[in-house]
Structure 1
Amino acid sequence: MSKLNKKKRRSSFKRKIMLPFFIMLLLFSGLNIYMVKVSVDYNDQYNNILDTIIAANNINEYAGSIGIQLRDILVGKLKPEESTHKEAQSGIAETIGYISGKLNTDESRSMFEIIQKQSESLLKNAEEAEAGFNDKKLAESNERVKEVRKLEEFLKESIQNFILFEVKQSEVLKEKIENGFRMATTVNASILAVILVFSVIYLRKVIKNISGPINSIRQKAMDIAAGRLGGEALAVATNDEIGDMAEAFNAMAENLKKIITKVNEASSKVRSASLQLSEITGQNSSANEEISATMVEMAEGIQTQNNETKNIAAEIDTMYRTSEGIRLSSMQILNNANESVQLAGEGSEYINSFLQQLDQTRAQIEDAAISMEQLNANTGKMSEILNAVKAISAQTNLLALNASIEAARAGEAGKGFAVVANEIKTLANETTESTQKIGDLIVEVQKQSGIVNERFDDSRKLIIEGNTNAQKAMEFFNRIADKNYIVNNDIEQISKDLSELISRIEEINRSMVEIAAITNSNADASQNVSAAIEQQTASAQEITASANEMLALAENLDGLLSGFKL
């Protein structure tokens, strides 16, 4: 986990933007809750008044029905069991209890006490009238019924006064509710105005704190895109996402600068190794050409020796006919033998020189192989660096994606931040593409290095084989020198003692057959050496081509790196 991820952020855009609005929302909500509570209390009081008015009106209706029904019972229009005056009495008692629990003011309670006393008196007279009905005391019942009728009128008047008072109370409450609503509307409008002003001021400050660092990051990104990797790092003194993004951008720029520096150093080493390899292969080609020319001369000398051997055989054949011819031929053979010895010595010197050049070539190829191994190791390190760049680019892309999500959540306020997030994402994608291209170049260099190493191995094998063939040729030359020495002794012996000519002719013929065989063997060996030299020359040309190709790749890489200024 990176240091940026471990860092605990003290504040963020979300907290900076949401916290003030959350506080204002709490204040606004608390005030509205209080206003709603007050309105609900007023509404409850208003509803209680309405319920009280309705209940009081019910008392009036109950009371009116009691007097009428008692009168009808008294005159015989209504039977007692068919009357509902008892239910009306119960309704009055229940309604009085209900209204008593609803009253909130002293005036209402005082006025309702009058109604309550009148209701109790009415109910008492109604009960006495009913008792008179049962006891057949009609005169007394009639008096009680009249009293009930009077009390009904008094109760009706008291209820009307009570209802009028409650109506006035309801109008007062209604006015309070309307005033409360107007006050709530005014307070809410004022708070909204204050919130809007504060929001504009606060958002301007937040936008300024966001746009300034983002512009710095954008300018730094444009410098990097133009290849200018120098300059000071971004200094953003904020403890939010912008600060995190600036630190991540500084880390990315520093890592990119280190990568470009290491790639530049590796490119210089590749170019130097390519030039050295090209020079070595050029020297090897020149040496092979010289050796090839020497082998051609040696082959011509061997052919000459073969021809001279045939001439010697012809002269020996002539010695059978005339001794003078034998003497002349022996002198010619002596001269030719001396020349053959000289040629054999020169051939040995050329072979020694060729062996030394082969050893030098093998040492140079081994040095070049070591350089190629170092190049492969350096390209491997370059691949590790490029993998690190890819990881940083992926992390930057992820940060840009998170920033785009946060910008989308922020709505209109996050549009500018979303544009910056997209620019960062584009920069991360371009960085990924560049690292991919460099990675492809490194893979190509490694591939070519592998081919060159294979060619070096083939060249070493050919040199070892050529060295073996040259040593065999050296042995053949030594044998030729030995045989020529024997021929010289034989010819001198022929010159001293012609009498022994006949007995020595067969021995000379056998010696000439051996010389011819050795000469043919030398010719074959020279052809093998020439073929090996041609193969080595072809391998050297391929190595030169590979070195030139690797040099071209190094120059191409230098061209890419020249666009960056550290």
Structure 2
Amino acid sequence: MKVSTRLWLGFGVLCLFIGGLGSFALITMSSVNSNTEQIIHNWMPAVSKAYQIKLEAGQIHELQRQLIDDPTDQSLEQIIREKKDAVKALVEAYVSQSISEEGTAIASRFFIDYEGGEATDEQIKEQAKSGNIRGAKLLYEGVAARLFNDINKSLEQLIAISETEATAAGATNKAEFESGFQIIIIALCFVLLLAIGLSLWTIRSILLPIRTINGVLQSLAGAKGDLSQRLRIASGDEIETMANNVNEVLATVENMVNHIRDATTEVAASSERIETNCSQLSDATVEIADAITGLSAQAQEQAETTHASQRLVREYLNKLNHLAEKAQETFELANDAKQKTEHGSQQMASVLDVMMAITAQNAAANESLSSFRTKLVHIGNVNEMIKSISEQTNILSLNAGIESTRAGIHGKGFAVIANEVRKLSNDTKGSAQSIIQLMSSIQEDVEALTQQFQSNTRNIDVGCEQIQQLTATFQTIQAVNGTVMDNGMLTKNEATSMLNSSATIVDRFDQLSTLSEDQSAVSQQVSASVEEQLSSTQMIESFTKELSEQSGKLKGLVEQFHVANVNA
């Protein structure tokens, strides 16, 4: 029987047992998964719905108590209706989805009791809305409480049945899983024993002959051994074919070793001659390389000097370009400053003319105030005269009164006239006194106004002098700006001329730099070629030495093999 047939047979038996074990495991796990899915989709939701029904029923009972306390609360009544609808929906869902006959019967009975209790709830609500709170509470604490306790007991039974049946389903599922798991463990142990038996059979029928072949090959792998030995295996399978192939390899290697011995001697002699020639060529190449290296170093130094000079010239060119830009900017700034200075001089001249006109107007106002002061003095003198006349008139009226008193009855008319004259004199004196006070006030105001005009005149004179000085300063600045413009124009022209000259110098340096770089590149290329030739020569010499050494080693290795024709 062939090795492949043996292996396929053992592998097929093992796969058959493993496939059967896997099928059994899949069937077992499928059953367990089905039971688990039934628990998840039927029993667990049933328990959850039972708890929800109990919770909703308790909340409805509590909300009814609150509705008795506040029967006008429409939102609370709406919540109770929604809760009742939710309880009915939960009960219907439990009945339609549950697979427990006892649980379905209890849920149906609860539904009937709950619908019967709704009539009591309506009576409680009507009593509360009609104002009979006490009657509503009696119904709530009596009939409604008993119904709630009965419903609560039914819900407790429903929850207990749901939990008991869910627990029983889980225990059944667990027992089925443990039974399948034990069968799988037993089958795995049997498969393991089968695999061990197949392994021992494979080792005995396949690996032992292979170890014999490996012993011969390991002897050859260590570069020693008897090449004249041959394998003798009669198993009638691929291993016997492998042994025959190894025998042919041994014969081929034995023949090749004989040829290698002869060639090794010739290679050693040729290597010695090549090594001598390479040594001479290497010495000549070293001398050429030293000369070219010196020339390349000089060319490199010249190129670096040229590059440094070129960088300096370019920096000088950049600075000149920057200087030309600054000269142009200075010329433009000076021209702008000149124009602004001329405009400022014109404005200062206009301001000076206005100040001179204001000075003339202040002088005319001062003259008018002086004339007004003179007239005020004249008016004061006239008023003093009027005051004096009024005092004399008053004295005359007093004298006339005295004389009229002496005249008696005949002097009564004269006394009346004297009295009127005295009144007129007093009024005239009072008016004159008021005029004097008014004139004094006007004279003080005129005096203050005169001083203010004089101060303004002095300030205007000082401003005129400063404006004249500022105008002279603007004229000086204008002259300086003209000089700066001329110098800026000269600087710009000189910088432009220097830029043109520097550009020519840069072109010359570029040409010189190109030539230096070409010379340096050629020198480096020649030096690299010589170094490459030297490296190749040294490499050939090294290879020759290595070839000579390898020939010696190869000869020593070949001598380790035992060849039949050598012994002969």
Q: TM-score range by the shorter chain?
A: 0.3 to 0.5
Q: How does the TM-score come out when normalised to structure 2?
A: 0.39
Larger radius of gyration: 2
Structure with the larger RCO, 1 or 2 (CA within 8 Å, 6+ apart): 2
